[in-house]
Amino acid sequence: MSVTPDDEGFMAAAIRLSRRHLGRTATNPSVGCLIVRDGVIVGQAVTAVGGRPHAEPQALAEAGARARGATAYVTLEPCSHHGKTPPCAEALIAYGVARVVISVTDPDPRVSGRGITMLRDAGIEVDAGVLEAEGRRSLAGYLTRQTKNRPYVTLKLAVSADGMIGRAGEGQVAITGPEARAEVQTLRAETDAILVGIGTAISDDPLLTVRTPGLEAQSPIRIVLDPSLALPLTSKLVATARDVPVILVASENVSPLAADAEGIPPSVLPDYRGRATGLDPSFGPPTRGEIDKEHDQNSQADSSSPATEDVGQAAIPQPISLLVGGEARAGEAGPIDPVNRLELRTPGRAEGGTSPTDAADLDSRRAVLEAAGVEIVYCNPYHPEVLLPALATRGISSLLVEGGAKTARLFLEAGLVDRIQLYHAPVVIGEGGIESPLDATDIPSGFTHMGTQMFGVDRLDEYERGL
């Protein structure tokens, strides 16, 4: 049977449905499934929050006996392997559906093509590739982690009418209005992790959480590129690190191991991939199974980790473990309230920011940060091509880079941005402005303009590279 406009209509609905749980299905993709009988939807579901159950068994259960002879529309090829749940392809066969329409085939080597073969072998008609481009966009995080071993990276910038993103030395300067800010909150809620440079963390003292009523629990993991551990100890990020994870990415030369290993250059410190995954670095991208395995190992190592509560759930994106010797440090910090003590010693830059220089000061800052719940990873912050696979290994599929200028430039120059969201506001910044690293006239080649939307008086232009 050839693909009809009705098929495309139902698939479009399944894709819309799949977006409902973006950012909430841990390492599993958020998939949509419709069961349609005689042109009527008799069952529909999206992958459950936490990643299980998958969409298909839920939609089939809703359809019940009406699934017999029906058509199933699924945004991603049904799984064919026995993981923590039985294969979805088996469920579709058991319920007696006559036809399965798929948008995207699964790059997971345990599934790729096998789900389709299993269905066809059972006499079910299968059509794949329906609305594939839209399907791939809805699965961008999952597909990027599977095929490129890194998260899908969105760069978001708000640019004033005179091409600025802020004003030097003035902290947060309102560029966009409330409608655009609300939209950014939604984007954060759909994203696994959010990243800023230390310049922004110091000058803006941002929270980087989701404050939209009802979505607060969907705040992403917060990551700061902080080479020399300069994050102010009184910052909002530190104060809230126990509620929403904060990871500082610091240079290897401020790691405790660097201090201990006199004369050993940071380049010979243990390889992050060997540490993080236990896999040979030459292995390809981790499969869902490998991530689950890694996750399980971490659970055993740390019984207080929320991972241990993940019975029957997919691996939840976790803050990446300390790459070099940090967990022991966290334990050593003991009962403290050294935040104030340290701030007295290091009044530093604006809002307490400082660049600690001596080893004792670094030790103290590390202890305070870790006791406050901040995780520190030692992984050259100027090399996103090293950091991103480490994040993917921990199950982070999508990353939102929110600036500032230097950090945005770093990711653009590394060719590690997949989507650009550029807000243009009518506000004029004027003297002392920090120039935007990007404007509509200099979008890097390879990006396609996907569309323009208005949020109040602000204009959002979106650009994407093919997956």
Ligand X SMILES: NC(=O)c1ccc[n+]([C@@H]2O[C@H](COP(=O)([O-])OP(=O)(O)OC[C@H]3O[C@@H](n4cnc5c(N)ncnc54)[C@H](OP(=O)(O)O)[C@@H]3O)[C@@H](O)[C@H]2O)c1
CB of 400 to ligand X, least distance (A): 11
Query: With binding defined as CB under 6 A, does residue 34 bind ligand X?
Result: no
In the window 379-398, what residues touch ligand X (CB under 6 A)? 381-382
Q: Which of 115, 141, 220, 227 binds ligand X (CB under 6 A)?
A: 227
- The stretch near ligand X (CB under 6 A) out of 74-82, 346-354, 388-396, 406-414 is 406-414
Quick one: angle between helices 338-345 and 359-371, nearest 10? 150
Tell me which residue of 406, 415, 358, 362 sits closest to 384, measured CA to CA.
415
Query: With binding defined as CB under 6 A, does residue 196 bind ligand X?
Result: yes
Query: With binding defined as CB under 6 A, does residue 250 bind ligand X?
Result: no
Query: With binding defined as CB under 6 A, does residue 158 bind ligand X?
Result: yes
CB of 433 to ligand X, least distance (A): 9
Judged by beta carbon, residue 165 or residue 307, the one nearer ligand X is 165
Judged by beta carbon, residue 30 or residue 200, the one nearer ligand X is 200
Query: With binding defined as CB under 6 A, does residue 404 bind ligand X?
Result: yes
Q: Which of 111, 165, 189, 244 binds ligand X (CB under 6 A)?
A: 165
Kindly give the pairing relationship between strand 398-401 and strand 125-128. unpaired
Judged by beta carbon, residue 166 or residue 317, the one nearer ligand X is 166
Q: Which residues pair with 76 in a beta bridge?
A: 104
CB of 255 to ligand X, least distance (A): 15
Query: With binding defined as CB under 6 A, does residue 410 bind ligand X?
Result: yes
Query: With binding defined as CB under 6 A, does residue 405 bind ligand X?
Result: yes
Structural element, H or E, at residue 193: strand 193-197
Count of Cβ atoms closer than 10 Å to residue 16 Cβ: 14
148-170: b (≥16 Cβ within 10 Å) or e: bbbbbbbbbbbbbeebbbbbeee
CB–CB of 414/401 below 8 Å? no
- The stretch near ligand X (CB under 6 A) out of 1-9, 182-190, 194-202, 335-343 is 194-202
Q: Which of 204, 205, 252, 375 binds ligand X (CB under 6 A)?
A: 204
Judged by beta carbon, residue 226 or residue 418, the one nearer ligand X is 226
Read off φ and ψ for residue 152, nearest 5 degrees.
-75, 125
Q: Which residues pair with 127 in a beta bridge?
A: 101
Give how many residues touch ligand X by CB under 6 A. Answer: 25
Q: Which of 44, 154, 200, 235 binds ligand X (CB under 6 A)?
A: 200
Kindly give the pairing relationship between strand 164-167 and strand 152-159. unpaired
Cis peptide before 53 (omega within 30 of 0): yes
In the window 290-349, what residues touch ligand X (CB under 6 A)? none
| First-last CA distance in the chain | 29
Q: Which of 128, 157, 180, 315 binds ligand X (CB under 6 A)?
A: 157
Q: Which of 184, 225, 314, 372 binds ligand X (CB under 6 A)?
A: 225
Judged by beta carbon, residue 117 or residue 453, the one nearer ligand X is 453
The per-residue DSSP string of 376-397 comes to EEES-TT-HHHHHHHHHHTT--
Query: With binding defined as CB under 6 A, does residue 356 bind ligand X?
Result: no
Q: What separation in angstroms does the CA of 159 have from each of 113, 359, 407?
A: 44, 40, 15
Judged by beta carbon, residue 35 or residue 425, the one nearer ligand X is 425
For residue 173, what are its two tokens? 């300067």
Query: With binding defined as CB under 6 A, does residue 256 bind ligand X?
Result: no
List the beta strands (DSSP E) in 10-49.
32-37, 40-46
Read off φ and ψ for residue 300, nearest 5 degrees.
-70, -35
Q: Which of 4, 172, 300, 452 binds ligand X (CB under 6 A)?
A: 172
Structural element, H or E, at residue 101: strand 99-104
For residue 346, what are its two tokens? 């290091």
CB of 407 to ligand X, least distance (A): 4
Judged by beta carbon, residue 8 or residue 170, the one nearer ligand X is 170
Judged by beta carbon, residue 119 or residue 196, the one nearer ligand X is 196
- The stretch near ligand X (CB under 6 A) out of 42-50, 94-102, 121-129, 195-203 is 195-203
Among residues 8, 56, 370, 385, the one annotated as catalytic is 56
Q: How far apart are CA 355 and CA 343, in angstroms?
A: 12
Judged by beta carbon, residue 208 or residue 307, the one nearer ligand X is 208
Cα-based angle 119, 122, 128 (whole degrees, multiple of 5) = 25
Residue 375: active-site member: no
Q: How far apart are CA 149 and CA 287, in angstroms?
A: 9
- The stretch near ligand X (CB under 6 A) out of 20-28, 49-57, 281-289, 404-412 is 404-412
Give the residue numbers marked as catalytic.
56
Footprint of ligand X on this chain (CB under 6 A)? 157-158, 165-166, 172, 175, 196-200, 203-204, 225, 227, 381-382, 402-407, 410, 434
